[in-house]
Amino acid sequence: MNEPRREEFAFSGDSLLGKIKEIIRAGNVRRVIIKNDEGRPLVDIPLTAGLVGTLLAPQLAALGAIATLVMRGTIVIEKEPDGGPPPTPSL
C-alpha cells in the first residue's frame, strides 16, 4: 500500500487560515497538522471528502483562534498517494 505524501509550509499567524483554505481547495488532502515554531503539534485535523464542507467550519474557527496565539509555525499536510483517494467507508 502506498504511504501518504507529506508537504510542509511555514506560516505566520495572519496567513494560517488562508493557507489552510487554499490547501483544502487543492484537494486530495488526508490530514492537516499545525505545529508551533518549536515543532510541537497543536492541531491535527483528518479530512475526508464528506468532511470538507459544513462539518469543517468549527475546525476553521479554531484555527483562526490559534492563528492569533501562534506567530509562526508549520503546516504539515498528508496527501493521497499517487494511486488516488482511498475508498470511502460505508456506514
Give per-residue pLDDT as tens, 44-66.
Answer: 888 765 555 556 667 777 777 77
Residue bearing cell 508549520: 74
Give the CATH number of domain 5-79: 3.30.1490
The whole-number pLDDT of residue 30 equals 82
The whole-number pLDDT of residue 8 equals 92
More confident residue, 34 or 13: 34
**The 3-state secondary structure of 21-71, one letter per residue:** HHHHHHCCEEEEEEEECCCCEEEEEECCCCCCCHHHHHHHHHHHHHHHHCC
> In whole angstroms, what separates CA 38 from the centre of its chain?
18
17 pLDDT above the threshold of 50: yes
Read off the pTM: 0.66
The whole-number pLDDT of residue 48 equals 67
pLDDT in tens, 3-15: 778 999 888 877 8
The whole-number pLDDT of residue 91 equals 46
The whole-number pLDDT of residue 37 equals 86
pLDDT band for position 43 (cuts 50, 70, 90): confident
